[in-house]
Amino acid sequence: TRPFTLGARADSYYEYLLKQWIQGGKKETQLLEDYVKAIEGIKAHLLRQSQPRKLTFVGELAHGRFSAKMDHLVCFLPGTLALGVHHGLPADHMDLARALMETCYQMNQQMETGLSPEIAHFNMYPRADHKDVEVKPADRHNLLRPETVESLFYLYRVTRDRKYQDWGWEILQSFNKYTRVPSGGYSSINNVQNSHKPEPRDKMESLFVGETLKYLYLLFSDDLELLSLDSCVFNTEAHPLPIWAPA
């Protein structure tokens, strides 16, 4: 059996429960009910806090055992939660969105390059000289993924708190410093923990232009009607799709 995860191969399902409900004019209540039930399940079974900063994170459950492992992909979740609140879901979803957004920011911030690893493990026990976010050697690459800045875009749109723009600006500066290629373009890197030798991979995923830079552009724009959350829904590849008008 596969583990219960919000990371790879499961993330889009939860995102689309909410987004399909919104795009369909909020008529298919079964989608909304399944989404709310999923968030309750996450709260009950997958949420923990790290040490020493008490960062809230979403772990995984396999064969009844909890693993303090969180894919960077899970950082779509604060944005999805905020989008739900924008469309009328309970305020406590926003509390969780803010807490997880802080965690995703720290997944970038606590690395030497200021860029998140592909997978983080969280330290759950108070130990001297240990940060909240720990990385295994096989997981310390960064593929220029969009999830953190995607959620920053939603959090900024919903709260208008400029802190989220500032965090996105820091991440963009880290991309420019450690992944930009002098001859043009950007490259995934092998090691977010080594600012002297990040080890570029000579590969730029299409998602960097199609999603990461698009969400950064929208995050930095103060035109809140530009691809408004009331008129369109972004699919999991960041394509804005119109919300269906009533027939």
What residues are paired with 241 via a beta bridge? 233
Q: How confident is the model at residue 80 (pLDDT cuts 50, 70, 90)?
A: very high
Q: How confident is the model at residue 11 (pLDDT cuts 50, 70, 90)?
A: confident
* 77 pLDDT more than 70: yes
Residue 58: which H helix or E strand, with range?
A: strand 56-58
Q: How confident is the model at residue 210 (pLDDT cuts 50, 70, 90)?
A: very high
Is the C-alpha dihedral spanning 167, 170, 176, 178 positive or negative?
Answer: negative
Of 53, 58, 52, 54, which is closest to residue 70 (Cα–Cα)? 58
> Could you tell me where the DSSP H helices lie in 55-90?
77-86
Residue 199: what residue type? E
Q: Could you tell me how far CA 44 lies from the centroid of its own chain?
A: 20
Can you state the angle between helices 91-109 and 147-159, rounded to 10 degrees? 140
**Res 138: pLDDT:** 98
How far from 242 is each of 86, 183, 211, CA to CA, in Å?
Answer: 17, 38, 18
SS3 91: helix
* Distance in angstroms (rounded) separating the CA atoms of residues 53 and 34: 32
Question: What value does the mean pLDDT take over residues 34-50?
Answer: 96
* Distance in angstroms (rounded) separating the CA atoms of residues 109 and 82: 22
Of 12, 30, 160, 5, which is closest to residue 82 (Cα–Cα)? 160
Say what percent of the chain tops pLDDT 90. 91
Question: What value does the mean pLDDT take over residues 161-185?
Answer: 97
Question: What value does the mean pLDDT take over residues 27-36?
Answer: 97
**Res 14: pLDDT:** 94
236 is in an annotated binding site: yes
* 247 pLDDT more than 70: no
CATH architecture assignment, domain 10-232: Alpha/alpha barrel (1.50)
Q: How confident is the model at residue 1 (pLDDT cuts 50, 70, 90)?
A: low
**Res 219: pLDDT:** 98
Domains of the chain by residue range: 10-232
* 230 pLDDT more than 90: yes
Residue of 118, 147, 150, 211 marked active site? 118
pLDDT per residue over 152-168, tens digit each? 999 999 999 999 999 99
Give yes or no: 102 in active site. Answer: no
pTM exceeding 0.85: yes
Most distant CA pair in the chain, distance: 61
pLDDT per residue over 92-131, tens digit each? 999 999 999 999 999 999 999 999 999 999 999 988 888 9
Average pLDDT of every residue of the chain: 96
